[in-house]
Amino acid sequence: MSDGAQNDVLGDLVRQLTAIAAIRRRLVRELPQGLGNGSAVLAVLAHCGETQLRAVAHRLDCDLSVVSRQVGHLEQQALVVRRTNPEDRRSSLVSITPQGRSLVEALLQFHTDLIAAATADWAPEELTTLTALLERLRDGLSHRTHHAQPRGDATGRTSGQPTPAPPPHHQVETRD
């Protein structure tokens, strides 16, 4: 494939991913109880069980302060509980409540139904291929964004392009 053709294909891919991200943002805004991005925290806790806030933040590739705020909001809704970590009293452990788990299950069912309806005319092999390719893309992007070094002059700016912020795992961690 020529460089021009590959750039066209990559541009189309970026446009499709951007459109899917816009749909996801709309779905997040429409979540019940003003849940917003807290649904991702609930999903991690449903999968991992009780864990430190720092581990949730790492799993979501998100800053600890953001996760702490989301957990505070989820606590007010009785969807999670937070307790002092008995092994390190400076940190907290957080777990999902039965009400939170029910909400995660309902959200998972909603998203599964939505994807099923959107792909109703797809062959099972197409879904398997799409899933494998998305995993491969996610892994490649994750590897490159976590190991990328900003390029540019001493001010950190590139030719007309903003310098990307370092990934959250490069930030200084604080106790939760």
Distance CA 170, CA 152 (A): 19
Looking only at the bridges linking them, the beta strands covering 80-84 and 92-96 are antiparallel
Q: Which of 58-62, 68-72, 123-127, 164-168 has the lowest mean pLDDT?
A: 164-168
CA distances from 90 to 12, 56, 59, 93, 169 (A): 48, 16, 20, 10, 20
* Domain 34-143, CATH number (from 1.10.10.10, 3.40.47.10, 1.20.120.1200, 3.40.50.80): 1.10.10.10
CA distances from 130 to 18, 62, 107, 140 (A): 17, 26, 22, 15
Spans of all domains in the chain: 1-30, 34-143
pLDDT of the residue at 142: 84
Dump pLDDT digits (tens) for 37-47.
788 899 999 99
Dump pLDDT digits (tens) for 45-86.
999 999 999 999 999 988 999 999 999 999 999 999 999 999
Q: Is residue 151 pLDDT above 60, yes or no?
A: no
Q: Is residue 126 pLDDT above 60, yes or no?
A: yes
